[in-house]
Structure 1
């Protein structure tokens, strides 16, 4: 949160606090040129996991809808895909993923 607050002007900082909804924080990141950062990626994954939780779909693969392996969720609670679907996704999108790094 401090990185975001440090990048905003005084008026914008007044609107961000620990109570600010995650969606609003995410909306600020492109405005302050933090869209291609690790924090943006983490917030997006957190927001997706929270949405799944609200819908009662947390822990299900977003592609095949089977249960994500518990050790995978323990390692990263924001994981969106089971191992098989993650491997398939990475194979199919490897060129796009390479361009983002």
Structure 2
């Protein structure tokens, strides 16, 4: 996939997420101009509103990371080991940040942290 095609697909996803963000902001009575605000501004507003546990917040931060990675030429590389993320993982989710092996390790560590915190 070319950089321009990836950017186009990420932009389409961004449009969809911005609509959902507008609905989330209305639901929680948060003043947010989701169409004019940058992704960083939206992330900051949602953080201040303590909505970091929302699945939409996670998708938004991954989208922001994907745009940044694309800009610096690192899109498609694992955030942990820097190897290429398997094409089928990126085809399934363009916002994927880890290769299969690192994703498995991350999930295992995250489950351990959850057990220790409860």
Question: Normalising to structure 2: TM-score of the pair?
Answer: 0.70
Residue matched to 2:67:
50
Tell me whether 1:39 sits opposite 2:56 in the alignment: yes
* Structure that is richer in helix per residue: 2
| Alpha-carbon distance, 1:24 to partner | 0.3
2 CA distance for matches of 1:97 and 1:49?
26
| Alpha-carbon distance, 1:90 to partner | 1.6
The question of whether the paired residues in 2 share the 8 Å contact of 1:60 and 1:80 is answered with: yes
Aligned length: 96
In structure 1, list runs of 5 or more residues that go unmatched.
none
Deviations 1:10-62 (A, max 9, x none): xx33xx13131100000000222322111111111111111111111000111
Residue matched to 2:22:
2
Alpha-carbon RMSD: 2.1
Comparing 62-71 with 88-97, greater Cα deviation is found at 88-97
Residue matched to 1:76:
93
| Alpha-carbon distance, 1:93 to partner | 2.6
In structure 2, list runs of 5 or more residues that go unmatched.
1-20
Q: Which runs of 4+ in 1 moved over 6 A?
A: none
